[in-house]
Structure 1
Amino acid sequence: MELVAGCYEQVLFGFAARPAESWTVAPDFTHHAHTASLSTVAVNNRYVVTGSRDETIQIYDMKKKIEHGALLQHNGTITCLEFYGTAHLLSGAEDGLICIWNTKRWECLKSIKAHKGHVTSLSIHPSGKLCLSVGTDKTLRTWNLVEGRSAFIKNLKQNAHIIKWSPNGEKYVTVITNKVDIYKLDTASITGTFTTEKRISSLRFITDSILAIAGGDEIIRFYSCDSQKCLCEFKAHENRIKDIYSFEREGQHVIVTACSDGYIKMWNLDLNKIKDGLSLLCEVNTKARLTCLAVWLDRASEIKETSDKVATSSQANEDEKPSTVRKNKVCWTDKSGKTAKRKRKIALEKQKLEAPLQKKKKKRNSSA
C-alpha cells in the first residue's frame, strides 16, 4: 500500500506502508507532477490522479511507477476528483464543469456545465447511477448518470464546499463552513445538523453512521449521524489537519491524516472503544506543506476502502462489460459523441505539457 500526498510545492509524494508487528512507512517516489500547487488527489486499483491550480489533471501509473499523461479539459483549478470502480473518473473545476472520463482509453465521455460558479465538491452514489455536486452558485445538484442529465436542483442558503455519500448510499452530508447537514436519500430532507468550532477541511465516513471530521485545528472529531453528537475528540497533530483518509484492513479501521506541518500519520481506531481515541501506528515527515491525501491499496481483495464497499461490489460484474451501457446501467456517455470528440484534449504516455517544457528550455538557454 502507498500513502500518496500532494502539497503546495507542486510535488506528489509516495510512501510505502507495510503492516508487520509494527507498521512501517518508507519513501517510495517523488513526482513533480504540476507547475502549481496540488489541490486534490484520487486513487483506484491502478492509478493516482492529481488535480492542480495549473488547470490540469496528471495521471500516475502506480503499477509501473511512471507518469502516464495529462488531461487538459478544464479551464480553472481542479477542485475535486473521484473514481467510480475501475472504468470511470469524474472531475470538477472552477470552470463550473464536471467531466466524465473513461479510464481505459482516458477520453472525455461527457462534459457537463454543472454550476454557474465553481464546482467545489462532488460525490458518486455507490450504485454509480447518481452523482451529487455543490458549487459557488449556492446549489446542490443531483445528476442522473444513466442518462447524463440533471435530475434535481436544491437551493442552499450558503455555498457548500464538501458533499459526501454514506457507504450504503442511504444518506449524504453537506458541509457549509463549520456546519454539517445530514440528508436522507428517499426524502432529500435534512434529518440532522451539527456544527464545529472551526471550518471543516475534510470529512470521511468511517461507517454508515460515524463521521470523522477535521477542521482548522489539530483535532479529529468523530460524530454520530444518528444522534448528531460528538463521540470523541482527539488531538492528532501539532498544527492544522488538511485531509483525512480511512480504510479497513482485516476488520481494523485505519485512519490516515495529513497535516499542514508536513506530517502524515496512520492511526488505529477501535470502534468498540471510540471514546478512548486513536492509537498511533506510524508517522512520516514529508517536510512539505501538504494539501491533499489518499491511500493506494494494491491488494483490493484483502483491503477495502470504507467509502467504497458498496461501489466495489456493484461494479465487479460491470468491469467485464462494454463501457456503453445497456438499459438501467450506468451510461456516462455523450449520446451524440460529437461534443466529446471535439473537446477531447488528452496527452498520454510520453506526451507532456508544452508549457513546462518551454519554461525548462528558456531556463537552460538563459543559463547557457
Structure 2
Amino acid sequence: MGTGNIEVIVGTSEEYLLGYKIRTKKDGHVELSQTFADHSHMGSVRQVAVGGKFLVSGASDETLRIFNLDSRTAVGTIMEHQGTITHVSFHKSKYLFSAAEDGNICIYSRRNWKCDKTLKGHKGMVLDVSVHPSGKLALSVGQDATMRTWNLIKGRKAYITNLKTAAHGVYWSPSGMHYLIVRGSCVEVYEVAVAKLVHTVDFKQQVTTLVFITDGLIAVGGEGHNICLYDVSDSGTELLQWEAHKMRVKCLGVLPEATATPGLIRLVSASSDGTIKIWAIDLLSLSSPKLMGEVNTSCRITCMDIYVPLDTSTSASPLVTTEDIPSSGGEEDDVDEEEEADEEEEADDDEEEEGVENEEEEAGEEEEPDDDEGEEDQQEKANVVQLLNKFSRKASEKESGEEEVLDETSGKKSKRQNGTTQASQNMLKRKRNKKQKSKGKGAIAEGSNRKKKKL
C-alpha cells in the first residue's frame, strides 16, 4: 500500500487541528504537505482519534468535535463532559470512547454520536483508557491511583486494582495477551495468562508516549529527545535507541506497510518542538533508523493520529471553518440512504457481538471490593478473568498459529510469534542476547520482587 493519501493529523496547544499528507518520492524519502488547518476549538487540543473516515478531537474547552475526512465536512459537537478531555479513542471504528477530568468514561455509537453508556467510578480525573481487542473489556487508570476493569458486556465496573501511585497510561497489546501500565519512567508488563507482572522496563525518563509495533515490540518516547525500541515479549530488552527530536517526544505512530521489504517499518514521531518526522526502521538488522522526511508545524504539538483512507484516490481538500459546524449531536451529512442502512446494520451486529449495552447506570457508586465481598462480586471477577484468557488465547492462536498458550497441568507457556516474521524474530533474539552479554545487566527490574494485586 502506498502512502499517497495517508495523512498525519495533529492537535496543538494553539487550539488548531493540522493535517499533513504524506507523498513518497522516487528515492524513497517522503514529503509532508499541509492539507488543512482547523480552529474549531476554544482551548488547547488534547486528544485526536481517527476511526474509519471520521476524526474526533477533544480539548480543554470540554467538547468533542467530529469531522468527516472523506467529505471534509464538520459533523457536529459532543458536550457530555465537564472538564478537560483526557482521552479519545475508537474501537473498530464503530464505538467512540472518551474520558475527562470529571472522572467519567463515555461510550458513543457511530450511528448517531449519542452517548450510549457512561461508566462512572474514578474519583477524579481519568488519565487513560484502553479497550481489549475483543471489545468486551476495558481498563482505565486515574488520578485516584486505581486501575479499573470494566465489563463492557454488562456496562459496569468489574473490579478495582489499587496501584498506590497513579499511572498515566494503560495499553492492551494487539493480541490481548499482555497489558502495559505506564508510571513515571517505568513501563510495567503484565501477562494475562498468569495474571501477574512479568517484567518492568525503565526508560530512565518520564514516558510520554508508547506504541506497539508488533505484539512483542514497542516504541517509547519521553521527556528526553530519544526514542527506544523494547522487546516486551521476553524480558523487556532494549533493542534500539536514537535521538529523534530537540524536545520531548509527544506522539508515536506506525504507518501501514508501504514497502515489500521484509522487516521494514515506518514510524511517525511528533514533538513539542513542532516537528513531525518519519523514520524507516529495519527490524531485521536493527541498524540506526533513517530519517525519511520531516515538517515543522510551527506549533506546540500535543496529540497525533494517522488517517488511512479506504479509497486511496480520494483527494484532500480543506476542512470547513468553525462557522460551518452544525449544532451538537448532528449526524453525518454525506452518506446516502443505502450506505447509511448498511452501516446501521453493521453497527447493530457489532453492538450485539461486542456487548455494549444501553442500560442505565445503577444508582450510587460501587465500593471497592474487599475480603468479605459477596459471591456475586467474586463470580464477576472470575467471569472477567475467564473472558480475558479466552480472547487472549484466540488472538494468540490467530497471530502465531500455535494452538495453545498455557498448559494448565504443567503451567508452561507454549512458544508464540510476536507479529514479526520468523526471520525477524530470530534476529531480535540474537540482538537481545548480544546486548545482554555486552552490558552484563539491562535497565530491567524483574517484577517478581514487587507486590501487585492480580488483575
TM-score by length of 1: 0.83
Q: How do residues 313-328 of structure 1 correspond to structure 2 at under 5 angstroms?
A: 320=346, 322=348, 325-326=351-352
Give, in whole Å, the separation in 1 of the partners of 2:11 and 2:350: 33
Give, in whole Å, the separation in 2 of the partners of 1:235 and 1:338: 50
Shift of 1:104: 1.6
3-state SS in 2 of match to 1:322? helix
Give, in whole Å, the separation in 1 of the partners of 2:101 and 2:22: 34
After the TM superposition, which parts of structure 1 deviate over 4 Å for at least 4 consecutive aligned residues? 336-339
Give, in whole Å, the separation in 2 of the partners of 1:87 and 1:248: 20
Shift of 1:319: 6.9
Shift of 1:318: 10
- Equivalent in the alignment of 2:24: 19
Give, in whole Å, the separation in 1 of the partners of 2:147 and 2:362: 28
3-state SS in 1 of match to 2:285? helix
Shift of 1:169: 0.7
Give, in whole Å, the separation in 2 of the partners of 1:237 and 1:336: 47
Give, in whole Å, the separation in 2 of the partners of 1:281 and 1:266: 6
Aligned match for 1:212, one of 215, 219, 232: 219
Aligned match for 2:49, one of 19, 42, 47: 42
Matched, 1:249 2:275: no
Counterpart of 2:300 in structure 1: which amino acid?
R
- Equivalent in the alignment of 2:243: 235
Matched, 1:89 2:101: no
Aligned residues of 2:109 and 2:116 also touching (Cα < 8 A): yes
Give, in whole Å, the separation in 2 of the partners of 1:281 and 1:245: 15
- Equivalent in the alignment of 1:290: 301
- Equivalent in the alignment of 2:280: 268
Give, in whole Å, the separation in 2 of the partners of 1:256 and 1:67: 26
For residues 218-259 of structure 1, the C-alpha deviation after alignment (integer angstroms, 9 at most, x for no partner) is: 100111112212111111112221111113314642211111
Aligned residues of 1:324 and 1:333 also touching (Cα < 8 A): no
Counterpart of 1:17 in structure 2: which amino acid?
I
- Equivalent in the alignment of 1:113: 120
Distance change in 2, residues 1:323/1:98 (3 Å): farther
Give, in whole Å, the separation in 2 of the partners of 1:96 and 1:18: 41
Matched, 1:101 2:108: yes
For residues 296-334 of structure 1, the C-alpha deviation after alignment (integer angstroms, 9 at most, x for no partner) is: 111389xxxxxxxxxxxxxxx9972516844xx212232
Counterpart of 1:185 in structure 2: which amino acid?
V
Which stretches in structure 2 are left out of the alignment for 5+ residues?
A: 1-5, 313-342, 364-455
> Of the two, which has the highest radius of gyration?
2
- Equivalent in the alignment of 2:10: 5
Counterpart of 1:283 in structure 2: which amino acid?
E
Distance change in 2, residues 1:336/1:323 (3 Å): farther
Which shows bigger deviation, 237-246 or 35-44?
237-246
Give, in whole Å, the separation in 1 of the partners of 2:31 and 2:350: 43
Aligned residues of 2:21 and 2:35 also touching (Cα < 8 A): yes
3-state SS in 1 of match to 2:306? strand
Aligned residues of 1:211 and 1:224 also touching (Cα < 8 A): yes
Aligned residues of 1:57 and 1:70 also touching (Cα < 8 A): yes
Give, in whole Å, the separation in 2 of the partners of 1:300 and 1:140: 39
Give, in whole Å, the separation in 1 of the partners of 2:220 and 2:350: 38
Distance change in 2, residues 1:318/1:232 (3 Å): farther
Identity %: 36
For residues 10-39 of structure 1, the C-alpha deviation after alignment (integer angstroms, 9 at most, x for no partner) is: 000001112342322111000102111011
Q: How do residues 136-151 of structure 1 correspond to structure 2 at under 5 angstroms?
A: 136-151=143-158
For residues 131-170 of structure 1, the C-alpha deviation after alignment (integer angstroms, 9 at most, x for no partner) is: 1110011111111111111122111021000100111110
3-state SS in 2 of match to 1:320? helix
Aligned match for 1:58, one of 57, 60, 65: 65
Counterpart of 2:309 in structure 1: which amino acid?
D
The aligned length equals: 323
Greater helix proportion: 2
Give, in whole Å, the separation in 2 of the partners of 1:185 and 1:166: 11
Which shows bigger deviation, 16-25 or 138-147?
16-25
Give, in whole Å, the separation in 2 of the partners of 1:136 and 1:48: 27
Aligned residues of 1:45 and 1:300 also touching (Cα < 8 A): no
- Equivalent in the alignment of 1:178: 185
For residues 46-93 of structure 1, the C-alpha deviation after alignment (integer angstroms, 9 at most, x for no partner) is: 111111111111112101112221110000111011101121001111
Matched, 1:69 2:76: yes
Shift of 1:281: 1.5
Q: How do residues 161-200 of structure 1 correspond to structure 2 at under 5 angstroms?
A: 161-200=168-207
Give, in whole Å, the separation in 2 of the partners of 1:233 and 1:113: 40
Give, in whole Å, the separation in 1 of the partners of 2:305 and 2:223: 19
Counterpart of 2:49 in structure 1: which amino acid?
A
Aligned match for 2:354, one of 310, 317, 330: 330
